[in-house]
Amino acid sequence: MNRLNFFLPLAIFISIIIFLIFALGRDPNHIPSSMLNRPVPSFSLSVLGDEDNFKDNKIFVGKPALLNIWATWCFSCRIEHPYLYKLSSQGVRIVGLNYKDNTLKAKKWLNDKKDPYIFSLIDQEGKFAIDLGVFGAPETYMIDSDGIIRYKHVGIIDDLVWRKSLLPIWKNLE
Closest to 148 in 3D by CA, of 60, 31, 30, 59: 60
Q: Give the per-residue pLDDT at 10.
A: 66
Q: What's the DSSP call for residue 144?
A: -
| Percentage of the residues of the chain whose pLDDT score is greater than 70 | 80
pTM of the model: 0.81
pLDDT beyond 90 at 4: no
- CA–CA separation, 120 vs 141, rounded Å? 14
> Cβ(35)–Cβ(150) under 8 Å?
no
Q: Where are the alpha helices (DSSP H) in the chain?
A: 2-24, 75-89, 103-113, 127-132, 159-161, 167-173
* 71-120: pLDDT as tens digits: 999 999 999 999 999 999 999 999 999 999 999 999 999 999 999 999 99
Long-range contacts of 123-132 (CB under 8 A, 24+ apart): 123/45, 123/97, 123/98, 123/99, 124/100, 125/100, 126/99, 126/100, 128/41, 128/43, 128/45, 128/97, 129/69, 129/97, 129/99, 129/100, 131/41, 131/43, 132/35, 132/40, 132/41, 132/67, 132/69
Q: pLDDT digits over 130-173, tens only?
A: 999 999 999 999 999 999 999 999 999 999 999 999 999 999 98
| Confidence band for 22, pLDDT divided at 50, 70 and 90 | low
pLDDT band for position 174 (50/70/90)? confident
Q: Who's near 44: CB < 8 A, 6+ residues apart? A: 54, 55, 56
Distance CA 62, CA 147 (A): 8
Asked if residue 9 has a cis previous peptide bond (ω within 30° of 0), the answer is: no
pLDDT tens digits for range 43-55: 999 999 998 889 9
